[in-house]
Amino acid sequence: MVQELTRDEEVAKAVTTDLLRRPEVARETMRDDTARFLVNRAQFDNSAQVRETIRERTPAVRKIEHTIEYLDLVGSCHQYVATLGRLVPRLRGQEFTEDERETVRRGIAKACGRRPNGWRRRSTTASSPWTSSSPSSLRASNRGPPGPRHYGDLVRVSLMEARPAGLKTRQLVAATRLKKSQVARGIRHLRDVGAAEHLTPIIRRRRDGYMFSEDPADWIEYEKKQFQQILGRLTRMITGTLDPHLARYPDDEWAQLAAAQLTGVRATLAQLTR
């Protein structure tokens, strides 16, 4: 009877949607491997279709994606160089078997874009960045003193690898091999520039540390807490300094202006923390 009723595509969609809105039915249905696979595949296809529609309607999105992928590549290069700089000094003086040496040679060949016989793979386009990619060129590009962007890239890569978990400062120090002050500079760069460039909101929790969450509810929770802290500091400044100032000098134009403006600011912050 059910099969007869659901032969029509529109009827089948309506019935399936209504049934999956029941928590118990949805939970039992997702225990079926085939049904779960088909649902996941449909979600993937829908997301791909939405992304393609957005790309067609908003050409700037493609430029943003290019920038994100380029920065991901740069961060990977920094991580590669930093890891080699940490490991190679430790290996000096150690003996390796021929099999171990050959394994390392193959790995270096892949990283450098070279065939095992030492010849570099040439790109079909002269402008390809891969034609000059090598450890020496990467080191040459990093000869100058590293700055906040470099630290930010290393911190971002570590947080991306740790998702969905977070990393505390001491864990970031261990993961990036940076000093605590350098990790702090990297986090500041992420908050100032990197998070907006990569569209990856960064949050911090006392128990988890810094993290890239994909759940908007986590972003809202963090934003509300930040607004609460700002409201608390502002309120203490008003009650501890501005109010006594205005009480002692009620005709002071600056105090009157500040009190009038901050009344609206306090009301707005109070609204945002609810």
The CATH number assigned to the domain holding 209 equals: 1.10.10.10
Same domain, 101 and 120: yes
Same domain, 171 and 140: no
| 69 located within any domain | no
| 196 located within any domain | yes
| 80 located within any domain | no
| 185 located within any domain | yes
Same domain, 153 and 195: yes
Q: How far is it, in rounded angstroms, from Cα 31 to Cα 134?
A: 49
Q: How far is it, in rounded angstroms, from Cα 23 to Cα 5?
A: 23
Q: Which of 166, 186, 214 is the last residue of a domain?
A: 214
CA atoms within 13 A of residue 163's CA, in its CB half-sphere: 14
Band of residue 117 on the pLDDT scale cut at 50, 70, 90: very low
Q: Which of 30-44, 159-173, 187-201 has the lowest mean pLDDT?
A: 30-44
Does residue 108 carry a pLDDT above 80?
no
Q: Which of 51-60, 129-138, 168-177 has the lowest mean pLDDT?
A: 129-138
Same domain, 238 and 195: no
Most confidently predicted of 20-29, 114-123, 232-241:
232-241
Same domain, 208 and 221: no
Same domain, 187 and 229: no
Q: Which of 4-13, 36-45, 112-121, 160-169 has the lowest mean pLDDT?
A: 112-121
- Tell me which amino acid residue 32 is: D
Q: What is the number of structural domains in the chain?
A: 4
**CB burial of residue 178 (10 Å; 0-12, 13-18, 19+):** buried
| 137 located within any domain | yes
| 71 located within any domain | no
Does residue 141 carry a pLDDT above 60?
no
Q: Which of 144, 176, 202 is the last residue of a domain?
A: 144
| 62 located within any domain | no
- Show the CA angle centred on residue 74, arms to residues 73 and 78, nearest 5°: 120
**What pLDDT was estimated at residue 93?**
76
| 27 located within any domain | yes
Same domain, 199 and 228: no
Band of residue 188 on the pLDDT scale cut at 50, 70, 90: very high
Band of residue 111 on the pLDDT scale cut at 50, 70, 90: low
pLDDT digits over 42-78, tens only? Answer: 877 877 787 777 767 777 767 777 777 777 777 777 7
Residue 243: give the domain boundaries: 217-272
pTM of the model: 0.47
Same domain, 224 and 209: no
Same domain, 226 and 267: yes
